[in-house]
Amino acid sequence: MPRDLADRTDVEELVTAFYRSAFADPLIGPIFTEVARMDLDHHLPIICDFWETVLFRAGLYRRNALQVHYVLNARHPLTEEHFDRWLQLWKATVDDRFAGVKAELAKTQATRIAGSMQRRLEGRSGSEFERIGRRAATGS
């Protein structure tokens, strides 16, 4: 039975495995390799800071992930299909290596982050509750 995510070493294992599959993916791989020209050796510690902060409240990530994606989106529009594939690969990578409360949190937070980021890049609210409207006031 796989173990749960417990520390930075586990986050590094997860993130490294994820990017290995993402870079090789025919849909999103070219975005990382050809559009963003991501230097994984440079990026890996930053993204590990991000996920360690998300999962363990480490307080290590102090950048603006959305801004980076705004710039990328301007160069190559990121579609729902791209976000869905990213999330599919992330969840599969988590499930292949880990199981437990933190592993479930990694998948839940990735779903929330992907959805919020996609909505924001489309010029909408980042909230998943944006469709909840107000009822019109009645005259009584």
* Residue 102 domain-assigned (yes or no): yes
User: What's the number of domains the chain is made of?
Assistant: 1
Q: pLDDT 10s digit of each residue in the chain, 140 long? A: 799 999 999 999 999 999 999 999 999 999 999 999 999 999 999 999 999 999 999 999 888 888 888 899 999 999 999 999 999 999 999 999 999 999 999 999 999 999 999 998 987 655 565 555 555 656 55
* Residue 3 domain-assigned (yes or no): no
pLDDT at 113: 94
Range of the domain at 98: 8-121
Which candidate, 122, 31, 29, 40, places its Cα nearest to that of 76?
31
- Distance between CA 103 and CA 91 in Å, rounded? 9
Q: Which residues share a beta bridge with 3?
A: 98
* Residue 129 domain-assigned (yes or no): no
Residue 40 is part of a domain; what is its CATH number?
Answer: 1.10.490.10
pTM of the shown model: 0.85
* Residue 103 domain-assigned (yes or no): yes
Contact (CB, 8 A) for 15 and 48: yes
The DSSP code sequence of 43-108 is HHHHHHHHHHHHHH------S-HHHHHHHHHHHSPPPHHHHHHHHHHHHHHHHHHB-SHHHHHHHH
- Alpha-carbon dihedral of residues 2, 104, 83, 74, nearest 10 degrees? -110
Residue 120's SS3 state is helix
* Residue 72 domain-assigned (yes or no): yes
* Residue 126 domain-assigned (yes or no): no
* Residue 132 domain-assigned (yes or no): no
* Residue 86 domain-assigned (yes or no): yes
Contact (CB, 8 A) for 72 and 86: no
pLDDT at 102: 98
